[in-house]
Amino acid sequence: MTLENAMFCIAEKYPWTATWLRTGHIILSAGGRAREARSDQEPCPANIEALGCTGVDARGRLAWVGWDLDVGHGTRVFESTDAAIAGARRLRNALHGLAEIRFSKSGVGVHVRHLWPNDDRPGDYGPVFAKAYAKRLCLPVDPTPLGRQAFWFWSRIRPQHAFELIEPHMGIA
């Protein structure tokens, strides 16, 4: 099975991921090591632990922008999950509801994703946009994940609340 096939299987089992999964820049964790895949046709490792991607599509265009609101780890963190959710809701409101809020892979942190309009903007604009909004809203987010714009969408081990929806992206069924 290729990584592309694995992503299609994830989207089939967890339909919410279909909006966000992109085959342009796939990330995976296997054997305790995370990395970016060389190609979506790369074989999916048997010992895969997590699979995700960036918000850049296969043509290098920006498809979505994400924010990682950490709780308990990282260089800039929220003091609690409730505080991270409150920060995520402020961000979602600033984006006029055009953002999805979900728990992270750990089920403790919070991720916010904003679907980008199809305007052929290059993928490297994502970190610029994410950092600008975080600064504008004074969100204590680590700039390194904002720069990577890489998020997990599936994990073999799923703690309570992992990837659970908190608030939907307006206009997405």
The whole-angstrom separation of Cα 130 and Cα 21 is 18
Closest by CA position to 112, among listed 79, 67, 158, 163: 67
Does any domain span residue 172? no
Which residues constitute the domain of residue 49?
3-167
Cα 112 to Cα 6, 31, 38, 158, 159, distances in angstroms = 23, 27, 26, 19, 19
The model's pLDDT over 86-115, given as tens digits with 9 standing for 90+, comes to 999 999 999 999 999 999 999 999 999 999
What's the total number of domains in the chain?
1
Does any domain span residue 173? no
The whole-angstrom separation of Cα 56 and Cα 21 is 10
Q: What is the mean pLDDT of residues 142-159?
A: 92
Residue 73: CATH number of its domain: 3.90.920.10
Does any domain span residue 85? yes
Average pLDDT score, the chain: 93
pLDDT tier at 73, thresholds 50, 70, 90: low
The yes-or-no verdict on residue 148 having pLDDT over 70 is yes
The yes-or-no verdict on residue 30 having pLDDT over 70 is yes
